[in-house]
Amino acid sequence: MSPCPTPFLTAMLAALLLATGCAATGTPATMADRATGSVPAPDPVSSPEWANDMARFAAEDAASPPPARPVVFTGSSSVRLWTTLAGDFPDRPVLNRGFGGSHIRDAVHYADEVAIRYRPSRILIYAGDNDTMDGRSPRQVLADFQAFVARVHRDLPGTPIAFIAIKPSPSRAQLLQVQRASNALVRDWAARTPDVDYVDVFTPMLGADGQPRPELFAEDALHMNAQGYALWRGIIAPYLR
């Protein structure tokens, strides 16, 4: 019969396994996920009401077929309320598939409906704003975005995906540090990940005092006004060239 391992040996083996696992992953996605192409299951959707938005998108597609190979914008209300999107990027076929109030994990669940079915030339997602407001941590924001990328690239490998940084807003100024940390994790991961980009709208939306610029926002101090969207247009346009 083999001798039982000593407590010291057991502890050393456990520490080695932990260190090996941490070094191998480096991110919330596991090596097995990356090797097999599987998509880590995100948390449940943040609201069952998104099914209504998916039905609306299907009805819009039936009434007016979307352009071939569009640039898809998806995510939460900052995308949904971007009513001038097509006019702001007249040289590119763009498609707005934002659903207000959503989290990143909702875009994972509904990736087919908001992105994959259109076989887009590229995807830009703005989400994370509501996530952090509802208590999601920076690590969860990163993990959810990684799951979105994995879900899209499983069916559409090589499709460029850009994360539009979580914006700073006056009504959520108490979350600036969480937003900054979330953005930094996504930025750093995108910098070393093929076909993934980070679009920094966070920094230009801060004033010299380090606080959100109120002139960029509507009366609710959360959603952007025309000046805010004009700023976004100027930042995002070079990425679409």
State residue 95's pLDDT score.
98
State residue 128's pLDDT score.
97
CB 160 within 8 A of CB 122: yes
What is the DSSP code string of 57-90?
A: HHHHHHHSPPPSS-EEEEESHHHHT-TTHHHHST
State residue 115's pLDDT score.
98
The low-confidence residues of the chain, meaning pLDDT below 50, are: 1-36
Classify residue 105 as exposed, middle or buried by CB count within 10 Å of its CB (0-12, 13-18, 19+): buried
State residue 17's pLDDT score.
36
Quote the pTM value. Answer: 0.83
- The DSSP bridge partners found for residue 11 are none
State residue 21's pLDDT score.
36
How many CA atoms are closer than 13 Å to the CA of 39, on its beta-carbon side?
19
Which residues fall within 8 angstroms of residue 142, CB to CB, at 6 or more apart? Answer: 27, 28, 182, 185, 186, 189
What is the DSSP code string of 197-234?
A: EEE--TGGGB-TTSSB-GGGB-TTSSSB-HHHHHHHHH
Instruction: Domains for the chain: give ranges and CATH numbers.
Output: 55-240 (3.40.50.1110)
Tokens 């070393």 belong to: 192
CA 38 remoteness from chain centre: 18
Tokens 């609201």 belong to: 47
State residue 33's pLDDT score.
43
pLDDT, tens only, 131-147? 999 999 999 999 999 99
Residue-averaged pLDDT of the chain: 87
CB 150 within 8 A of CB 108: no
Percent of the chain at pLDDT > 70 equals 83
